[in-house]
Chain A
Amino acid sequence: KAGVTQTPRYLIKTRGQQVTLSCSPISGHRSVSWYQQTPGQGLQFLFEYFSETQRNKGNFPGRFSGRQFSNSRSEMNVSTLELGDSALYLCASSLSAGNYGYTFGSGTRLTVV
């Protein structure tokens, strides 16, 4: 079966712009989580959605937001981009709670210039 698909793979944006990233989970997976990965901070949790509801949120500013659609696809949005937002953004899906593991996508590499 198809894995977790993230689009686009690479993105270059200018400071102050906004960006929307997309994630299609594995078919049947209803939980979608987003993580930010940087060399300095490692992998940090952004938020998690289940059945279109945000169940958990990490310690990121309000510029970071997300949503989940009825088909479980998810998007995350970052407004007013800052240089420090440059990172690999990873989406992960699981059937329900992720106690038994997640399947990650290949990520979107965002560069803010």
Chain B
Amino acid sequence: TQLLEQSPQFLSIQEGENLTVYCNSSSVFSSLQWYRQEPGEGPVLLVTVVTGGEVKKLKRLTFQFGDARKDSSLHITAAQPGDTGLYLCAGAQAAGNKLTFGGGTRVLVKP
């Protein structure tokens, strides 16, 4: 069974601070996807990382895929209240037609 461990489970920070969310597994994934989910809505794709060691930036968000394609991190610089939400990492198998989700990190950015 492939498992993705996300940490921390909950983060509460002040506006302007930085934060990092981690996603770890003992399994290799063909891709690692990050989603953000708001209450009452479905997850929204933020980024997909495919190559080991890959780093992608999306404005103030930086995503990294581990060299061995088993772990990933999401770093937010100068967080804003609009970054509040549930962040989910999800790993895709080689066939790509099933996602294994981490437990999620609930981020609260206070103004």
Which A residues are closer than 8 A to B by beta carbons?
4, 31, 33, 35, 42-45, 48, 50, 55-56, 58, 90, 92, 97-107
Contact = CB atoms under 8 A, between A and B. Distances in A.
Given A100-B31, A106-B42, A31 B97 contact: yes
Contacts of A55: 95, 97
* The 3 A-B residue pairs with the shortest CB-CB distance in the complex, in nearest-first order: A97-B96, A104-B42, A99-B96
Contacts of B43: 43, 90, 104
A58 B95 CA distance: 14
Contacts of B90: 43
Place the interface of chain B in its size category: 20 to 34
B97 A107 contact: no
Contact of B99 (A50, A98, A106, A107): A98
